[in-house]
Chain A
Amino acid sequence: MKRGKGMGAYCAALFAFLYLPLGVMFVFSFNDARRNVVWKGFTLKWYTALFHDAELMSAMLTSLELAAAAAAIAAVIGMLASYAMVKHKPFRGRSAYDALLNVPLMMPEVALGVGLLTFLVRAGFELDFTALACSHALICLPYTIAAVRARLISLQESSLEDAAMDLGATEWQAFVKVTMPLAMPAIISGALLSFTVSFQDFVTTFFVAGIGIVTMPIKIYSMMKFGVTPEINALSVCLLLATFTLIGLNTAFAVRPDEASHR
């Protein structure tokens, strides 16, 4: 297949384009030079510098707390909503509600950000951690619901809960002993996805975060305003590794559609 080869080469080139910036950043984060692009030798000093930067560490902590809070809120809301959407008898207006649930995903983040900013300020709320966590939970919600819902649908098809109830379990027992344990991987997967979304969100945070709240992306952005430095490379590599770990964990928890019904 000669044609296939040409196309394969094209795809390889396109992949190179997608990965070039990530690779460049990775390599130069180990470069022993302030000026970025000439290779002067291997060093880890930019990484050690990160850990001695107190502001940076506090930004990291803020981001982790924020992502954990947003993921937790979205997981609870998402689980309840998915359950009602999948297992309950369809109520009036369900398809419209379904569409509304996906709006946070479609809405341009700038519009979402300025909308939240305007609302919070006009309604007299403080632009504090709670407000930001609730805002992040909104962006995370569609991801959680997508993950949990798919799982609940495949459970529904397996009729395991019906079997439990035929054998005398109450609805509550079926929920606690069958539905929850089987839905747990999807809830965790959705929460990990939410964590990732919140952890690297820049745009919404940029608008909603008050002056006192500095997350990691906000910190990187303000460092970038002063130009390209090797510390940002090292920081970005750490951020990327964290993201990849989370995505990897998520794939481990994500349920393949064929697997669910076979358990």
Chain B
Amino acid sequence: MNKALSWLLGGRKPAASHLLLAPATLWLVFLLVIPAAGLVLLSFAKNGPYGLILWEFGFQNYRRAFDHKYLPVLLRTLGFAGATTALCLILGYPMAYYLAFRAGRWRNALLVGLMVPFWSSCLVAYYSWMIVLGKEGLLNTAMISIGFLSRPIGFLYSPFSILLGLVYFYLPFAVLPLYASLDKVPRAVIEAAYDLGAGRWTAFFKVTLPLSLPGVVAGCVLTFIPCLGDFLTVEILGGPRYYLLGNLISNQFMMAQDWPFGSALTTILLAGLVGGLWLYQRWESA
């Protein structure tokens, strides 16, 4: 007994590691690897009547994903993800800069404060945006009462509200990597630039910004990639007119009962994700 435990805990043999890792492996294989492989397999099958799956292999689901009806959804997804990433970086950079260079003793409190909305449920946060942006919502009521508007505007269920929701949720994902890389910029290098006669802006554009580039790229990856698969934002703040890839996928499984087509869409999403991460790794190791 004691010997067996020592063997297991000491872990000088790979078999001991495999045994301790067995539950994790079980979970990863059965709930992650097999489901993902299953989706890829299913994406080549054909949808029969009543959601029956016909195992006739072909690329018809992929052709359909890129036809004139669904291509706009893919392009819209890329567009919203791109716009969100750009906005998050532009809005987040000054904040990350402030956290890294100016916040002083408030820094840790601000970093925690930044994460709190992230930890509060996305569902709940989007719900409160509904209160703010709705036809009879806070924004409309306020603007009418100060005479800025004469009748309510439909802020909600528009590209505006979708972008707002996405930026709201993904902003911390951009700020944190930006902050991490700005924090690593050696102060002495910036001082040196000043000593050599650079002005504030020159020092920023020639020294600080280039040195924070890893953070910019990481921030891009961390906002763009999750945005591609976002589902809840449009579900709550958007509506069917602005369906993104995530909503289209959900629809195939929950409403249309076309699992093979939904699987093809999911495979496209995963391929985009893997491709993006691969590019990032290549950039990082280059």
Using A84-B11, A108-B229, A247-B119 as known contacts, say yes or no to A224 and B39 having CB atoms under 8 A apart.
no
Beta-carbon contacts under 8 Å, A200-257 to B = 200, 202-203, 206-207, 217, 220-221, 224, 228, 232-233, 236, 239-240, 243-244, 247, 251
Tell which of B19-27, B182-190, B208-216 binds the partner. B19-27
Interface residues of A in 1-44 (CB under 8 A from B): 1, 3-4, 7-8, 10-11, 14-15, 17-22, 24-25, 28, 35-38
Contact with A along B1-39 (1 / 0, CB 8 A): 010011001111010111011011001101111111011
Interface size class for chain B?
A: 35 or more
Number of interface residues of A (CB under 8 A): 84
Assembled-state Cα–Cα distance A4/B97 (Å) = 10
B285 at the interface (CB under 8 A from A): no
Smallest CB–CB gap between B178 and chain A, Å? 13
Look across to chain B and name the residue whose beta carbon is closest to the beta carbon of A97. B21
Q: A18-B171, A114-B249 are in contact. Are A171 and B120 (CB under 8 A)?
A: no
Q: Does B219 contact A (CB under 8 A)?
A: no
**A184 CB-CB contact with B under 8 Å:** no
Q: Nearest Cβ in chain B — how far from A194, in angstroms?
A: 13
Query: Nearest B residue to A223 by beta-carbon distance?
Result: B127
Given contacts A91-B17, A119-B38, A138-B31, contact A110 B171 (CB under 8 A): no
Q: Closest B residue to A196 by CB, please name it.
A: B119
Interface residue A118 (Cβ < 8 Å from any Cβ of B): yes
Chain B residues with CB under 8 Å of A137's CB are: 27
A159 within 8 A of B: no
Q: Is the beta-carbon distance between B17 and A28 smaller than 8 angstroms?
A: no
Flag if B131 contacts A172 (CB, 8 Å): no
Asked whether, in the complex, the Cβ of B35 is within 8 Å of the Cβ of A118, the reply is: yes
Report whether A91 and B14 are in contact in the complex, using a CB–CB cutoff of 8 Å: yes
Give Cα A164–Cα B274 distance, bound, in whole angstroms. Answer: 45
Q: Mark A98-122, 1 if CB is under 8 A from B, else 0.
A: 0011011011111110111111001
Q: Looking at the assembled complex, report how far the CB atom of B140 sits from the nearest CB atom of chain A, in whole angstroms.
A: 8
A104 and B98 contact, Cβ closer than 8 Å, known pairs A15-B113, A89-B11, A114-B266: no
Contact B130 A10 (CB under 8 A): no
Q: Are A88 and B24 in contact, with the CB atoms below 8 A? A: no
Which B residues are in CB contact (< 8 Å) with A76?
Answer: 23
- Chain A residue numbers with a CB within 8 Å of B30 are 119
A111 near B38 (CB under 8 angstroms)? Answer: no
Q: With contacts A21-B129, A37-B136, A119-B34 known, is A220 near B124, CB below 8 A? A: yes
Candidates A15, A20, A172; contact of B2 at CB < 8 Å: A172
Question: Contact at B97–A7, with CB atoms within 8 Å?
Answer: yes
- Secondary structure of the A contact surface, majority rule: helix
The interface residues of chain A lying within 8 Å CB-to-CB of B168 are 17-18, 21
Q: Which residue of B lies closest to A199 (CB)?
A: B121
In the complex the two chains form, is B120's CB within 8 Å of A240's CB?
yes
Tell me, in angstroms, the Cα distance from A48 to B101 when the chains sit together: 47
- Is A88 touching B125 in the complex (CB atoms < 8 A)? no
Residue contact A4 to B102, C-beta cutoff 8 Å:
yes
Residues of B within 8 A of A134 (CB): 27, 31
Query: Hey, which chain B residues are within 8 Å of A196, CB to CB?
Result: 119
Assembled-state Cα–Cα distance A116/B126 (Å): 26
Q: How many whole Å from A93's CB to the nearest CB in chain B? A: 9
Most interface-central of B24, B97, B226 (chain A CB within 10 A): B24
Q: For A174, list chain B residues within 8 Å (CB).
A: 9
The 10 closest A-B pairs by CB, nearest first: A108-B229, A88-B11, A21-B128, A115-B35, A84-B20, A200-B121, A119-B35, A91-B14, A81-B24, A25-B128
Interface residues of A (CB under 8 A from B): 1, 3-4, 7-8, 10-11, 14-15, 17-22, 24-25, 28, 35-38, 76-78, 80-81, 83-85, 87-89, 91-92, 97, 100-101, 103-104, 106-112, 114-119, 122, 134-135, 137-138, 141, 170-172, 174-175, 196, 200, 202-203, 206-207, 217, 220-221, 224, 228, 232-233, 236, 239-240, 243-244, 247, 251
